[in-house]
Amino acid sequence: MEYEVKVLRGNEGLSSLLLEAMDAHDAEAQAKAQGYSIIATHAKQVWSPLNLSRKTKFPLVLFSQELVALLGAGLSLIEVLETLAEKEEQAEAKNTLLKIISLLYEGHNLSYALEQSPNDFPALYVATVRSSEKTSSLPEVLSRYVVYQAQMEGIKRKVITSSIYPVLLAVVGMLVVLFLMVFVVPSFSHIYEDMGGDLPLMSRLLMRWGQFLDAHWRLFLAVILALSAGLLLVVMQPASKLWLKQKLWELPAIGKRLHLYQMARFYRSLGMLLQGGMPILVALKLVSGLLQESMREQLKHASLSIQEGVSIAQAMEKYGLVTPLAVRLLRVGERTGQMGEMMERIAAFYEEETVRWVERFVKLFEPLLMIFVGLLVGVIVVLMYFPIFELAGSIK
Protein backbone atom coordinates (compact mmCIF):
# COMPACT_ATOMS: atom_id res chain seq x y z
CA MET A 1 0.00 0.00 0.00
CA GLU A 2 1.23 3.52 -0.74
CA TYR A 3 1.75 6.05 2.07
CA GLU A 4 2.44 9.77 1.80
CA VAL A 5 4.97 10.86 4.43
CA LYS A 6 5.58 14.53 5.25
CA VAL A 7 9.26 14.87 6.16
CA LEU A 8 12.05 17.28 7.08
CA ARG A 9 15.81 16.90 6.64
CA GLY A 10 18.40 19.51 7.53
CA ASN A 11 17.74 22.84 5.81
CA GLU A 12 15.87 21.32 2.89
CA GLY A 13 12.45 22.38 4.13
CA LEU A 14 9.20 20.44 4.27
CA SER A 15 8.70 17.84 1.55
CA SER A 16 6.65 14.70 0.97
CA LEU A 17 7.57 11.15 0.02
CA LEU A 18 5.33 8.56 -1.60
CA LEU A 19 6.43 5.13 -0.33
CA GLU A 20 5.21 1.57 -0.93
CA ALA A 21 4.96 -0.04 2.52
CA MET A 22 3.12 -2.70 4.50
CA ASP A 23 1.76 -0.19 7.04
CA ALA A 24 2.34 3.36 8.32
CA HIS A 25 5.09 2.20 10.69
CA ASP A 26 6.93 0.56 7.81
CA ALA A 27 6.65 3.74 5.69
CA GLU A 28 8.07 5.85 8.53
CA ALA A 29 10.93 3.37 8.99
CA GLN A 30 11.82 3.69 5.31
CA ALA A 31 11.80 7.48 5.52
CA LYS A 32 13.95 7.47 8.68
CA ALA A 33 16.43 5.14 6.95
CA GLN A 34 16.89 7.88 4.34
CA GLY A 35 17.71 10.43 7.05
CA TYR A 36 14.37 12.24 7.29
CA SER A 37 12.44 13.45 10.33
CA ILE A 38 8.79 12.41 10.21
CA ILE A 39 6.09 15.08 10.39
CA ALA A 40 2.96 13.17 9.37
CA THR A 41 1.98 9.92 7.62
CA HIS A 42 -1.23 8.90 5.94
CA ALA A 43 -2.34 6.20 3.52
CA LYS A 44 -2.79 7.19 -0.09
CA GLN A 45 -5.47 5.48 -2.19
CA VAL A 46 -3.74 4.81 -5.49
CA TRP A 47 -6.60 3.10 -7.34
CA SER A 48 -10.27 3.67 -7.70
CA PRO A 49 -12.70 2.00 -10.13
CA LEU A 50 -14.12 5.42 -10.92
CA ASN A 51 -10.78 7.14 -11.40
CA LEU A 52 -9.60 6.31 -14.89
CA SER A 53 -7.21 9.23 -15.37
CA ARG A 54 -3.93 8.31 -13.71
CA LYS A 55 -0.82 10.43 -13.59
CA THR A 56 1.50 9.69 -16.48
CA LYS A 57 4.67 8.02 -15.30
CA PHE A 58 7.81 10.11 -15.71
CA PRO A 59 10.09 8.52 -18.39
CA LEU A 60 13.05 8.13 -16.03
CA VAL A 61 15.23 5.85 -18.16
CA LEU A 62 14.71 7.91 -21.33
CA PHE A 63 15.42 11.09 -19.35
CA SER A 64 18.68 9.59 -18.06
CA GLN A 65 19.78 8.42 -21.51
CA GLU A 66 19.11 11.83 -23.08
CA LEU A 67 20.84 13.57 -20.17
CA VAL A 68 23.97 11.44 -20.62
CA ALA A 69 24.01 11.99 -24.39
CA LEU A 70 23.64 15.77 -24.19
CA LEU A 71 26.16 16.13 -21.35
CA GLY A 72 28.58 14.08 -23.45
CA ALA A 73 28.02 16.52 -26.31
CA GLY A 74 29.42 19.34 -24.15
CA LEU A 75 26.25 21.12 -22.98
CA SER A 76 25.96 22.34 -19.40
CA LEU A 77 23.44 20.74 -17.04
CA ILE A 78 21.07 23.74 -17.22
CA GLU A 79 21.23 23.79 -21.01
CA VAL A 80 20.51 20.07 -21.17
CA LEU A 81 17.47 20.33 -18.90
CA GLU A 82 16.11 23.36 -20.77
CA THR A 83 16.51 21.47 -24.05
CA LEU A 84 14.67 18.45 -22.66
CA ALA A 85 11.90 20.66 -21.26
CA GLU A 86 11.42 22.40 -24.63
CA LYS A 87 10.97 19.14 -26.52
CA GLU A 88 8.82 17.42 -23.86
CA GLU A 89 5.20 16.94 -24.95
CA GLN A 90 3.72 15.43 -21.76
CA ALA A 91 2.51 18.21 -19.49
CA GLU A 92 3.37 16.40 -16.24
CA ALA A 93 6.91 15.59 -17.32
CA LYS A 94 7.44 19.11 -18.62
CA ASN A 95 6.32 20.62 -15.32
CA THR A 96 8.70 18.31 -13.45
CA LEU A 97 11.64 19.43 -15.62
CA LEU A 98 10.72 23.11 -15.20
CA LYS A 99 10.59 22.63 -11.43
CA ILE A 100 14.08 21.11 -11.48
CA ILE A 101 15.42 23.95 -13.61
CA SER A 102 13.91 26.53 -11.24
CA LEU A 103 15.57 24.90 -8.22
CA LEU A 104 18.93 24.77 -10.01
CA TYR A 105 18.72 28.50 -10.78
CA GLU A 106 18.07 29.06 -7.06
CA GLY A 107 21.46 27.52 -6.34
CA HIS A 108 20.46 24.02 -5.26
CA ASN A 109 22.32 20.98 -6.52
CA LEU A 110 20.73 18.44 -8.85
CA SER A 111 20.13 15.75 -6.21
CA TYR A 112 18.17 18.20 -4.05
CA ALA A 113 16.10 19.31 -7.07
CA LEU A 114 15.29 15.71 -7.98
CA GLU A 115 14.41 14.91 -4.37
CA GLN A 116 11.59 17.47 -4.46
CA SER A 117 9.73 15.22 -6.92
CA PRO A 118 9.75 11.87 -5.06
CA ASN A 119 6.94 10.46 -7.19
CA ASP A 120 9.08 10.80 -10.33
CA PHE A 121 12.58 10.15 -8.95
CA PRO A 122 12.95 7.22 -6.50
CA ALA A 123 15.30 7.49 -3.53
CA LEU A 124 17.80 5.15 -5.19
CA TYR A 125 18.04 7.42 -8.23
CA VAL A 126 18.51 10.50 -6.06
CA ALA A 127 21.21 8.73 -4.05
CA THR A 128 22.98 7.74 -7.26
CA VAL A 129 23.04 11.35 -8.45
CA ARG A 130 24.16 12.58 -5.01
CA SER A 131 27.11 10.18 -5.07
CA SER A 132 28.18 11.57 -8.46
CA GLU A 133 28.18 15.16 -7.21
CA LYS A 134 31.21 14.43 -5.04
CA THR A 135 33.23 13.07 -7.96
CA SER A 136 31.79 15.07 -10.89
CA SER A 137 30.96 11.84 -12.71
CA LEU A 138 27.27 12.36 -13.45
CA PRO A 139 27.28 10.84 -16.99
CA GLU A 140 29.06 7.67 -15.80
CA VAL A 141 26.77 7.24 -12.79
CA LEU A 142 23.61 7.79 -14.84
CA SER A 143 24.86 5.33 -17.47
CA ARG A 144 25.29 2.78 -14.69
CA TYR A 145 21.74 3.44 -13.49
CA VAL A 146 20.37 2.95 -17.02
CA VAL A 147 22.17 -0.39 -17.23
CA TYR A 148 20.77 -1.32 -13.80
CA GLN A 149 17.21 -0.53 -14.89
CA ALA A 150 17.68 -2.45 -18.15
CA GLN A 151 18.86 -5.51 -16.22
CA MET A 152 15.95 -5.36 -13.78
CA GLU A 153 13.45 -4.93 -16.62
CA GLY A 154 15.11 -7.80 -18.45
CA ILE A 155 14.47 -10.12 -15.50
CA LYS A 156 10.83 -9.06 -15.30
CA ARG A 157 10.41 -9.46 -19.06
CA LYS A 158 11.81 -13.00 -18.99
CA VAL A 159 9.47 -13.98 -16.16
CA ILE A 160 6.44 -12.47 -17.92
CA THR A 161 7.37 -14.04 -21.27
CA SER A 162 7.70 -17.47 -19.66
CA SER A 163 4.27 -17.07 -18.05
CA ILE A 164 2.35 -16.07 -21.18
CA TYR A 165 1.81 -19.56 -22.65
CA PRO A 166 0.61 -21.23 -19.40
CA VAL A 167 -1.81 -18.35 -18.79
CA LEU A 168 -3.17 -18.55 -22.35
CA LEU A 169 -3.50 -22.32 -22.03
CA ALA A 170 -5.44 -21.96 -18.77
CA VAL A 171 -7.73 -19.27 -20.23
CA VAL A 172 -8.46 -21.27 -23.40
CA GLY A 173 -9.13 -24.39 -21.33
CA MET A 174 -11.57 -22.49 -19.12
CA LEU A 175 -13.35 -21.06 -22.18
CA VAL A 176 -13.67 -24.52 -23.74
CA VAL A 177 -15.13 -25.95 -20.54
CA LEU A 178 -17.47 -22.97 -20.20
CA PHE A 179 -18.61 -23.40 -23.82
CA LEU A 180 -19.34 -27.09 -23.25
CA MET A 181 -21.22 -26.46 -20.01
CA VAL A 182 -23.24 -23.45 -21.23
CA PHE A 183 -24.05 -24.37 -24.86
CA VAL A 184 -23.33 -28.03 -25.62
CA VAL A 185 -24.60 -29.73 -22.45
CA PRO A 186 -28.02 -27.96 -22.52
CA SER A 187 -28.52 -29.17 -26.12
CA PHE A 188 -27.79 -32.76 -25.11
CA SER A 189 -30.09 -32.45 -22.10
CA HIS A 190 -33.07 -32.02 -24.46
CA ILE A 191 -32.06 -35.15 -26.37
CA TYR A 192 -31.85 -37.26 -23.18
CA GLU A 193 -34.86 -35.73 -21.46
CA ASP A 194 -37.05 -38.77 -22.13
CA MET A 195 -34.33 -41.15 -20.91
CA GLY A 196 -34.00 -39.57 -17.45
CA GLY A 197 -34.22 -42.72 -15.34
CA ASP A 198 -31.99 -44.76 -17.63
CA LEU A 199 -29.03 -42.39 -17.50
CA PRO A 200 -25.98 -43.07 -15.29
CA LEU A 201 -25.83 -40.94 -12.17
CA MET A 202 -23.03 -38.60 -13.35
CA SER A 203 -24.70 -38.16 -16.74
CA ARG A 204 -28.01 -37.34 -15.02
CA LEU A 205 -26.31 -34.71 -12.89
CA LEU A 206 -24.64 -33.23 -15.95
CA MET A 207 -27.93 -33.15 -17.88
CA ARG A 208 -29.76 -31.52 -14.97
CA TRP A 209 -27.07 -28.88 -14.89
CA GLY A 210 -27.63 -28.33 -18.61
CA GLN A 211 -31.39 -28.01 -18.11
CA PHE A 212 -30.83 -25.52 -15.30
CA LEU A 213 -28.57 -23.39 -17.49
CA ASP A 214 -31.02 -23.56 -20.35
CA ALA A 215 -33.82 -22.23 -18.13
CA HIS A 216 -31.79 -19.69 -16.11
CA TRP A 217 -28.90 -18.68 -18.36
CA ARG A 218 -29.54 -14.96 -17.82
CA LEU A 219 -29.30 -15.36 -14.04
CA PHE A 220 -26.18 -17.51 -14.43
CA LEU A 221 -24.51 -14.92 -16.69
CA ALA A 222 -25.39 -12.10 -14.26
CA VAL A 223 -23.92 -14.03 -11.32
CA ILE A 224 -20.71 -14.79 -13.25
CA LEU A 225 -20.28 -11.13 -14.24
CA ALA A 226 -21.00 -9.93 -10.69
CA LEU A 227 -18.52 -12.40 -9.18
CA SER A 228 -15.85 -11.48 -11.75
CA ALA A 229 -16.30 -7.75 -11.10
CA GLY A 230 -16.24 -8.30 -7.33
CA LEU A 231 -13.12 -10.45 -7.54
CA LEU A 232 -11.38 -7.87 -9.74
CA LEU A 233 -12.31 -5.10 -7.31
CA VAL A 234 -10.97 -7.04 -4.33
CA VAL A 235 -7.74 -8.06 -6.09
CA MET A 236 -6.97 -4.47 -7.10
CA GLN A 237 -7.16 -3.20 -3.52
CA PRO A 238 -3.75 -2.52 -1.88
CA ALA A 239 -4.65 -4.59 1.19
CA SER A 240 -5.48 -7.58 -1.03
CA LYS A 241 -2.21 -7.24 -2.93
CA LEU A 242 -0.33 -7.10 0.35
CA TRP A 243 -2.15 -10.19 1.65
CA LEU A 244 -1.39 -12.07 -1.57
CA LYS A 245 2.31 -11.14 -1.36
CA GLN A 246 2.47 -12.38 2.22
CA LYS A 247 0.85 -15.69 1.26
CA LEU A 248 3.29 -16.11 -1.64
CA TRP A 249 6.20 -15.53 0.73
CA GLU A 250 4.85 -18.29 2.98
CA LEU A 251 4.98 -20.87 0.18
CA PRO A 252 8.31 -22.72 0.52
CA ALA A 253 9.35 -22.90 -3.16
CA ILE A 254 7.97 -19.54 -4.31
CA GLY A 255 9.04 -17.73 -1.13
CA LYS A 256 12.63 -18.85 -1.67
CA ARG A 257 12.63 -17.49 -5.23
CA LEU A 258 11.09 -14.19 -4.12
CA HIS A 259 13.86 -14.00 -1.53
CA LEU A 260 16.51 -14.51 -4.23
CA TYR A 261 14.90 -11.89 -6.49
CA GLN A 262 14.91 -9.33 -3.68
CA MET A 263 18.52 -10.13 -2.91
CA ALA A 264 19.39 -9.63 -6.58
CA ARG A 265 17.82 -6.14 -6.53
CA PHE A 266 19.47 -5.41 -3.21
CA TYR A 267 23.01 -6.32 -4.31
CA ARG A 268 22.61 -4.76 -7.75
CA SER A 269 21.56 -1.45 -6.17
CA LEU A 270 24.19 -1.63 -3.44
CA GLY A 271 26.96 -2.39 -5.94
CA MET A 272 25.89 0.54 -8.11
CA LEU A 273 26.02 2.96 -5.17
CA LEU A 274 29.41 1.68 -3.98
CA GLN A 275 30.87 2.08 -7.45
CA GLY A 276 29.59 5.64 -7.40
CA GLY A 277 31.69 6.33 -4.28
CA MET A 278 29.01 6.15 -1.58
CA PRO A 279 30.03 4.84 1.89
CA ILE A 280 28.78 1.34 2.67
CA LEU A 281 26.66 2.26 5.71
CA VAL A 282 24.89 5.09 3.88
CA ALA A 283 24.30 2.84 0.88
CA LEU A 284 22.85 0.09 3.09
CA LYS A 285 20.31 2.54 4.54
CA LEU A 286 19.25 3.69 1.08
CA VAL A 287 18.69 0.20 -0.34
CA SER A 288 16.99 -1.23 2.75
CA GLY A 289 13.60 -0.25 1.31
CA LEU A 290 14.06 -2.84 -1.47
CA LEU A 291 13.80 -5.66 1.06
CA GLN A 292 10.83 -7.21 2.84
CA GLU A 293 10.26 -5.99 6.40
CA SER A 294 11.71 -9.10 8.08
CA MET A 295 14.82 -8.89 5.91
CA ARG A 296 15.13 -5.19 6.75
CA GLU A 297 15.55 -6.15 10.40
CA GLN A 298 18.33 -8.55 9.41
CA LEU A 299 20.00 -5.80 7.38
CA LYS A 300 19.73 -3.39 10.29
CA HIS A 301 21.61 -5.81 12.56
CA ALA A 302 24.18 -6.44 9.83
CA SER A 303 24.74 -2.68 9.45
CA LEU A 304 25.33 -2.33 13.19
CA SER A 305 27.89 -5.15 13.02
CA ILE A 306 29.69 -3.48 10.12
CA GLN A 307 29.69 -0.20 12.04
CA GLU A 308 31.34 -2.01 14.96
CA GLY A 309 34.14 -3.24 12.72
CA VAL A 310 32.91 -6.63 11.53
CA SER A 311 33.68 -7.36 7.87
CA ILE A 312 30.86 -7.05 5.35
CA ALA A 313 31.06 -10.73 4.41
CA GLN A 314 30.85 -11.88 8.04
CA ALA A 315 27.97 -9.54 8.88
CA MET A 316 25.95 -10.55 5.83
CA GLU A 317 26.59 -14.25 6.47
CA LYS A 318 25.67 -14.00 10.16
CA TYR A 319 22.25 -12.51 9.43
CA GLY A 320 21.35 -14.70 6.45
CA LEU A 321 21.68 -12.12 3.67
CA VAL A 322 23.96 -14.19 1.42
CA THR A 323 24.44 -17.65 -0.04
CA PRO A 324 27.73 -19.55 0.36
CA LEU A 325 28.91 -18.46 -3.11
CA ALA A 326 28.03 -14.83 -2.37
CA VAL A 327 30.08 -14.93 0.86
CA ARG A 328 33.15 -15.97 -1.09
CA LEU A 329 32.64 -13.18 -3.63
CA LEU A 330 32.25 -10.63 -0.83
CA ARG A 331 35.50 -11.82 0.74
CA VAL A 332 37.25 -11.42 -2.62
CA GLY A 333 35.78 -7.93 -2.93
CA GLU A 334 37.08 -6.96 0.51
CA ARG A 335 40.58 -8.23 -0.32
CA THR A 336 40.77 -6.56 -3.73
CA GLY A 337 38.85 -3.36 -2.93
CA GLN A 338 36.32 -4.12 -5.70
CA MET A 339 33.29 -4.58 -3.49
CA GLY A 340 30.91 -2.86 -5.92
CA GLU A 341 31.89 -5.15 -8.80
CA MET A 342 31.60 -8.25 -6.61
CA MET A 343 28.11 -7.25 -5.48
CA GLU A 344 27.01 -6.85 -9.07
CA ARG A 345 28.35 -10.35 -9.79
CA ILE A 346 26.33 -11.67 -6.85
CA ALA A 347 23.23 -9.95 -8.26
CA ALA A 348 23.87 -11.47 -11.70
CA PHE A 349 24.17 -14.94 -10.13
CA TYR A 350 20.88 -14.51 -8.24
CA GLU A 351 19.13 -13.21 -11.36
CA GLU A 352 20.32 -16.12 -13.50
CA GLU A 353 19.21 -18.60 -10.85
CA THR A 354 15.77 -16.98 -10.67
CA VAL A 355 15.32 -17.08 -14.44
CA ARG A 356 16.44 -20.73 -14.61
CA TRP A 357 13.94 -21.69 -11.90
CA VAL A 358 11.10 -19.92 -13.71
CA GLU A 359 11.97 -21.68 -16.98
CA ARG A 360 12.12 -25.09 -15.26
CA PHE A 361 8.83 -24.47 -13.45
CA VAL A 362 7.07 -23.44 -16.68
CA LYS A 363 8.39 -26.50 -18.55
CA LEU A 364 6.98 -28.74 -15.82
CA PHE A 365 3.74 -26.81 -15.31
CA GLU A 366 2.73 -26.61 -19.00
CA PRO A 367 2.27 -30.38 -19.58
CA LEU A 368 0.53 -30.79 -16.21
CA LEU A 369 -1.88 -28.00 -17.10
CA MET A 370 -2.53 -29.52 -20.54
CA ILE A 371 -3.23 -32.92 -18.95
CA PHE A 372 -5.65 -31.36 -16.43
CA VAL A 373 -7.57 -29.39 -19.09
CA GLY A 374 -7.65 -32.42 -21.40
CA LEU A 375 -8.99 -34.67 -18.65
CA LEU A 376 -11.65 -32.13 -17.66
CA VAL A 377 -12.87 -31.70 -21.24
CA GLY A 378 -12.67 -35.45 -21.83
CA VAL A 379 -14.78 -36.27 -18.76
CA ILE A 380 -17.48 -33.83 -19.84
CA VAL A 381 -17.55 -35.24 -23.39
CA VAL A 382 -17.63 -38.87 -22.17
CA LEU A 383 -20.49 -38.11 -19.74
CA MET A 384 -22.45 -36.51 -22.60
CA TYR A 385 -21.92 -39.40 -25.03
CA PHE A 386 -22.06 -42.29 -22.55
CA PRO A 387 -25.87 -42.69 -22.80
CA ILE A 388 -25.52 -42.97 -26.60
CA PHE A 389 -22.98 -45.77 -26.17
CA GLU A 390 -25.32 -47.54 -23.72
CA LEU A 391 -28.27 -47.12 -26.10
CA ALA A 392 -26.24 -48.52 -29.01
CA GLY A 393 -25.21 -51.48 -26.84
CA SER A 394 -28.77 -52.24 -25.81
CA ILE A 395 -29.97 -52.18 -29.44
CA LYS A 396 -27.32 -54.73 -30.42
pLDDT score of 53: 42
pLDDT score of 304: 92
Torsion of CA 101, 106, 109, 115, to 10 degrees: -70
pLDDT score of 54: 46
Taking 60 as the threshold, does the pLDDT of residue 394 lie above it? no
Taking 80 as the threshold, does the pLDDT of residue 63 lie above it? yes
Average pLDDT, the chain: 79
pLDDT score of 287: 81
Torsion of CA 281, 286, 292, 296, to 10 degrees: 30
How large is the average pLDDT for residues 353-359?
A: 82
Taking 50 as the threshold, does the pLDDT of residue 146 lie above it? yes
How large is the average pLDDT for residues 156-170?
A: 80
Other C-beta atoms within 10 Å of 275: how many?
20
User: Alpha-carbon distance 226 to 80, whole Å?
Assistant: 52
Half-sphere exposure of 98 (CA within 13 A, CB side): 10
Q: How confident is the model at residue 49 (pLDDT cuts 50, 70, 90)?
A: very low
Task: Domains for the chain: give ranges and CATH numbers.
Answer: 1-46 (3.10.20), 53-121 (1.20.81.30), 137-396 (1.20.81.30)
Taking 50 as the threshold, does the pLDDT of residue 50 lie above it? no
What percentage of the chain exceeds 70 in pLDDT? 84
Q: In what order do the strands lie in the sheet with 2-8?
A: 15-20, 2-8, 37-44
How large is the average pLDDT for residues 310-320?
A: 89
Q: Which of 16-30, 54-68, 333-347 has the lowest mean pLDDT?
A: 16-30
More confident residue, 183 or 199: 183
pLDDT score of 198: 60
pLDDT tens profile 183-192? 777 776 666 6
Taking 80 as the threshold, does the pLDDT of residue 93 lie above it? yes
pLDDT score of 48: 44
User: Alpha-carbon distance 210 to 221, whole Å?
Assistant: 14
pLDDT tens profile 174-185? 888 777 777 777
pLDDT tens profile 372-391? 888 888 887 777 776 666 65
